[in-house]
Structure 1
């Protein structure tokens, strides 16, 4: 099955004849649907076709958004002012559309007081619940405790 450059069907033609028609017009014969019965071929400028495909891919790439994961680290003994500053950073990241990983890092014997780290994570969750949802519950890995927050889609 052969289709010409304007989209008109020329019908079922032998391959040689279709190639000759394409060459007479100074174009290429391109197989569009090989699995169809009979296979569908189109007479077109292949270079121009590839160029247009590349341009479409670039346009699609421009429109996509890349979501990054930002990380904010706390300690169980983080003071109130430092906590508020880090909370502002978390809010800014979430409002910007990025996911935020909140990490509590335990040093030395602080690891015994995991409840304090969990309390900090719960407080962060409560204070950001208007703009975020918890994507991953707090979980402990070695000397760190992590929680993932994702922005709420509006």
Structure 2
């Protein structure tokens, strides 16, 4: 029985250029999610403004497992490059604004992983083998001081 290919849905903030949108959609295809649906978020302004630049919704555990597998050799490096391109170019965001990350979102579990542009290589290597069943509430952030992925909300809940 053949497994269905991963399907990713990318939701872009309004200020991401069409060129960058195309690059990211192609990048997710190369990372093992060949079926990509692209949408634009409604332009928000005010206190509840979007904090992310791109929200990628896909089956997270399968996607992350693929990054570490033989099928997508050096997948974590490719993901790091993809996130770096996104945040370096900023999607058109003003330089004085707080950098906005790419967020991976699992629609089934509602778990989110926040990928900032300047994460170290080790963060992506850990991400490729991370057991998401250890977490119940997100978002997951990489703690540079501890050198690991964590959910502060999970830790607070005990």
Q: Which TM-score applies when normalising by structure 1?
A: 0.24
TM-score between both structures, scaled by the size of structure 2: 0.23
